[in-house]
Structure 1
Amino acid sequence: MAIKIIQVLTAEDSSPLAKEFHIPTRDGVTLATDVYLPPNLDGPKLSAIFVRTPYDKSSDYTSLKHEAKYYMSRGYAFISQDVRGKHRSTGETLPYTYDVNDAYDTVEWITQQPWSNGRVGVTGVSYYGFTAWAAVASGHPAIKAAVPQATSVDMGARHVASRWQQDVPSLSSVNDLLQIWTNNNGYLAAIDWAADTAQNVVGKAGDVLGKNISATKMLGERIYHQGWFNPYGDRHPYHTTNIPILHWQNWYDPGLAPAGMRDWRHFRSLANRNLHYLRANSADHAAFLLENVGDSSKIAYMNEDARERRISDECGEVADFFDEFVNEIRPQVPRVRARWHLGHVGWQSSTEYPPPCHPVKFTLSSTKSDIGYQMLMNEEITNLATTLSWVHDPNSPVPTSFDVEALWYLLAAYPDEREMANRDDVLTFRTEPFAENFDFCGQPTLQLDLDFLGPSTHLFAKLQDVYPDGTTHPISFGRAVIDKRMGPEVLLLLDDNAYRVQRGHRLQLQIQSSDFPIFIVHPGTEENPWIASKKEKSEHRIRIGGVGGASLSLPRIEV
């Protein structure tokens, strides 16, 4: 069976601390909205913190009803809303399309309430981080600052549109569409992407869950063209943002952090760059911390004490940002521009991110170590160039080391990837054990010359930490569509991280051409991978050694 329902996620009971309103929009849809007000309203009018979510405003999963208590204690009104077409809100269940206007209409309603001082801060995580960007894009003058968390401005570009000639198509995105955006309910479902083509799986999901407008459009009209998906109209945040933003990312969030860090770099390139701040943690998408790996009692969704600690820490940072930029309360100590966590060490700060670094080059070698792996050497290889190869078989792709759902809680799952080194379709390069700690911060860079059959291919790279006992955990990922017409030279930027490779550990680099089922498999032909009717094996070769041989560069820092 391609799809099986595990749990139907219906709306949970509202908090007794909230009063629910059904706010009308300009086109007649009503949006279910909880308003939390501090108990003593005899003082000045209130600023509001506003969140819009598709995951049920009243659920323990979002924890918004628990966060509300904290924000009220800090003197804010807290407003949470089910987005259009989800849970208690009416309208079409369709992501991205209506969020800019719906945010504007709700903020306008907020400012008209007797308790409102006309000042609003917007925040949220994942899709409701996107809705924070949509609120910013709405241009409502009451919105004074935003904290979009674990998200990106162009989240929808991969989620509901596939530019398969530019980006490696994501099956995990379609997985989310089916579970979240079919109707007012949510679904936890087991979806077997190996059972059939993606289009047929979506068709069968319609029989089980009901027709999904977004998934049907994505695997219908949108896979035949390469147009960029823009839910903002002429108000894309890249060009219209004029309020302070705290960019909040987590290193171990390969689904959204890469695009979120691209946002950060874009905004820091603009004239109003000083409106933007960064907070990046050694955590996964669900905010589970690297330092808590192996301790399930620290998972906030499973443990009430862990949830309260997370709320105190994380909502405290959000409230501090809004105190400064919504309520204009200047802190005693000026805010640092970039605050980022160095894995296995702790929090660092800098006037810019990435901080100053010294690039260290590791050369990919054809020489094997005494334990049978290709060497990753911290020195130039001057011998004659040779090649190493692997064969991509689209009928037997390299499997992802974790299931599709674990993409969003990568550190809670924290896969041991040691077995991947035994595959013939994965090239593995490994350093000797480090004699001292090695700290880096930024994007690892892979440079190589790549030759392959066919007009295009997918290239995946993975940087890993190999512990003394052989346990192998991911540090950073990279992925790209490689077009042969662009020539053999490839420069692949891996995802940002700040990490300490500890003394006695090894760095490992793996190169491959598939990562299924997180990403759809390249057919090995020139066909669109979503609808390819023919699949062919393809040999891939990289040049090792000599002048310009393959290398990995890491931005080393001193702490």
Structure 2
Amino acid sequence: MAIEVIEVMTSEESSALAEEFLVPTRDGKKLASDVYLPPNANNKKFSAIFIRTPYDKSSRYTALKYEAEYYMNRGYAFVAQDVRGKFKSTGETEPYAHDVNDAYDTVEWITKQPWSNGRVGVTGVSYYGFTTWAAVASGHPAIKAAVPQATGIDMGARHVASRWSQDIPSLSSVNDLIQIWTDNKSYLASIDWTADTPHKVVESAADVIGKNIAAGKMIQERIHLQGWYNPYGDRHPYHTTNIPILHWQNWYDPGLAPAGMRDWRHFRNLSTRNLHYLRANSADHSTFLLENVGDLSKVSYLNEEARKKRISDECGEVADFFDEFVNGSKPSIHRERARWHLGHVGWQASKEYPPQSRPLKLALSSTKNDAGYVMSTNEDHSTMPSLLTWIHDPNNPVPSTFDIEALWYLLAAYPDEREMAQREDVLTFCTEPLVDHLDFCGQPTLQMELEFSSPSTHLFAKLQDVFPDGTTRPISWGRVVIDQKMGPEVLLNMDDNAYRLRAGHRLQLQIQCSDFPIFAVHPGSEKNPWTATKREKSEHGLRVGGSHVAFLTLPVISLDNL
């Protein structure tokens, strides 16, 4: 069986500190909303912090009832809502489709409450980071500022749609879609993506869990039409945002941080650029920190003290932003445009992100050392032209180095990837051990010439830190669909990070054509990877040396120049 349900999650009890309301929408649905008011709230008016989630407003998982206590003590009303069709809210269970209107209607309801002063700040993580953007897009005048966290404006384009000829299909996103968006409950399920073609696995979920509106539309329509999915109508945030935004991302969130950082770059190129601020941490999607790797007592979902610390630190930053931009309170400390964490060092600030850097070019070569092919600043390794070849076998794809669920708590799982260098379908390039520390911040880029026998192909690149004992940890990822019509030259911008490669460590780059089951496997033909039943091997070659110099470029920084 492709799908096995392990656990069913239903709504937990609301906090005794909350009063639950059923907020009406314009089309007659009822949105369950917990309202928390500060102590001694009688006859007083407050700004509201508003969150809309599909993960149960009252659950320990979201921890919103604990965050509410913090915000109440900071003088805010706090409103936590189950989105339409989830847990206690009525309506059909379908992500994205109604969030702009439902946000507007609820903010309108908030402003009419006797405790409201008419000012609202919106925030949330992951999907409820998307609902934060949906609230911004709604254009309600009471919304004065927003903190979308660990999300992307266009996350729906991969979650409920697929432009598979331009973007590698994300099975991790569909995995989430099946478990979260089938009905008003949530399911923890084991999904075997090797059991059949991806679209058949999705179809079989309906027999085990139930009909899923969004998954049905994806399989029946969207994977064939490949249109861009836009849930905002004519109010896409890229051209309607006019309030202060704190873009909140985590480097070790390859599922959503790339989209969020793309949003940041877009807004910093507009005339309204100074409305936007950045906060990026060395953390994964679940907020587990790089500095806590190996210590699971620091997982906030498992440990009460860890949860209290996370709430104090993170909710404190959100409240500070809303104090300034919702309530108009002048901050005691100047707010930097960008705050970002340099892994193994600490928090940094800069007037712009990415900060000023110098490009360090590392040439890829056919020369070998004890770790793989040599990667170095010395182009002499690459003077002789060579074609480094490998075979992509879709029936034996390169496996993901962590469980599909662990994508969302990557640093808690933090895989040791040393064994991947032994695979013949993975090209591995490695520097010699570093003599000095090396700091970089921004997007590593990969420039190369690639040959392949199939009409198109998937290309994955991974940057890694190789410890002196051989432990190999991921730092940055890149992925792209390449078509023969594009020609052999490839320029791949990898995911953002800010990281110190420490003396004695090596920098490693791996190139491959699959990462399964996090991503769907390319069939080796022009066929749709969602539906292709026939899979063919394809030959790949990377040119190095001579006039075909392949480079990895790192944006190296000096902390003295920030």
Coarse TM-score class (shorter-chain normalised): over 0.9
Instruction: Please name the residue that 1:114 is paired with.
Output: 114
Instruction: Please name the residue that 1:378 is paired with.
Output: 377
Task: Note if 1:135 corresponds to 2:98.
Answer: no
Measured in 2, the distance between the counterparts of 1:192 and 1:210 equals 17
2:375 partner amino acid? L
1:547: Cα distance to partner? 2.5
1:378 partner amino acid? T
CA contact (8 A) 1:361 1:379 kept: no
1:248: Cα distance to partner? 0.1
1:332: Cα distance to partner? 2.3
CA contact (8 A) 2:453 2:538 kept: yes
Measured in 1, the distance between the counterparts of 2:492 and 2:178 equals 31
Q: Provide Cα deviations, 1:443-499, integer angstroms capped at 9, x if missing partner.
A: 000000001012210000000000000000000000000011011000001100000
Q: Provide Cα deviations, 1:97-137, integer angstroms capped at 9, x if missing partner.
A: 00000000000000000010000000000000000000000
CA contact (8 A) 1:36 1:72 kept: yes
1:259: Cα distance to partner? 0.5
Task: Note if 1:151 corresponds to 2:151.
Answer: yes
SS of 1:219's partner is helix
Q: Which runs of 4+ in 1 moved over 4 A?
A: none
1:196: Cα distance to partner? 1.3
CA contact (8 A) 2:39 2:73 kept: no
2:2 partner amino acid? A
Instruction: Please name the residue that 1:543 is paired with.
Output: 543
1:2 partner amino acid? A
Paired residues for 1:390-405 under 5 Å: 390-405=390-405
Instruction: Please name the residue that 1:490 is paired with.
Output: 490
Measured in 2, the distance between the counterparts of 1:103 and 1:402 equals 36
Measured in 2, the distance between the counterparts of 1:349 and 1:195 equals 48
Measured in 1, the distance between the counterparts of 2:384 and 2:364 equals 13
1:378: Cα distance to partner? 1.7
Task: Note if 1:292 corresponds to 2:308.
Answer: no
Measured in 1, the distance between the counterparts of 2:150 and 2:497 equals 14
Measured in 2, the distance between the counterparts of 1:396 and 1:443 equals 30
2:464 partner amino acid? Q
Paired residues for 1:344-383 under 5 Å: 344-369=344-369, 371=370, 373-381=372-380, 383=383
1:203: Cα distance to partner? 2.1
Instruction: Please name the residue that 1:308 is paired with.
Output: 308
Instruction: Please name the residue that 2:343 is paired with.
Output: 343
1:314: Cα distance to partner? 0.1
Task: Note if 1:196 corresponds to 2:201.
Answer: no
Q: Provide Cα deviations, 1:381-420, integer angstroms capped at 9, x if missing partner.
A: 3522111011000111000000100000000000000000
Structure 1 residues 436 and 43: CA distance shift in structure 2, 3 A: farther
Measured in 2, the distance between the counterparts of 1:328 and 1:547 equals 58
1:38 partner amino acid? P
Paired residues for 1:140-539 under 5 Å: 140-369=140-369, 371=370, 373-381=372-380, 383-539=383-539
1:355 partner amino acid? P
CA contact (8 A) 2:454 2:539 kept: no
1:267 partner amino acid? F
1:43: Cα distance to partner? 6.7
1:206 partner amino acid? A
Measured in 1, the distance between the counterparts of 2:333 and 2:372 equals 50
SS of 1:59's partner is coil
1:216: Cα distance to partner? 1.4
Paired residues for 1:5-16 under 5 Å: 5-16=5-16
Measured in 1, the distance between the counterparts of 2:366 and 2:220 equals 45
CA contact (8 A) 1:93 1:181 kept: yes
Measured in 2, the distance between the counterparts of 1:264 and 1:222 equals 27
1:372: Cα distance to partner? 5.1
SS of 2:529's partner is coil
Measured in 1, the distance between the counterparts of 2:156 and 2:362 equals 36
2:165 partner amino acid? Q
Measured in 1, the distance between the counterparts of 2:178 and 2:496 equals 29
Normalising by structure 1, we get a TM-score of: 0.99
1:53 partner amino acid? T
1:44: Cα distance to partner? 4.4
Please say which of residues 40-49 and 263-272 is displaced more in the overlay: 40-49
SS of 2:396's partner is coil
Q: Sequence identity, in percent?
A: 73
Q: Provide Cα deviations, 1:347-366, integer angstroms capped at 9, x if missing partner.
A: 00000000000110001110
CA contact (8 A) 2:364 2:552 kept: yes
CA RMSD of aligned residues (A): 0.8
Q: Provide Cα deviations, 1:187-213, integer angstroms capped at 9, x if missing partner.
A: 111111011111221222111111111
Gaps of 5+ in 1: none
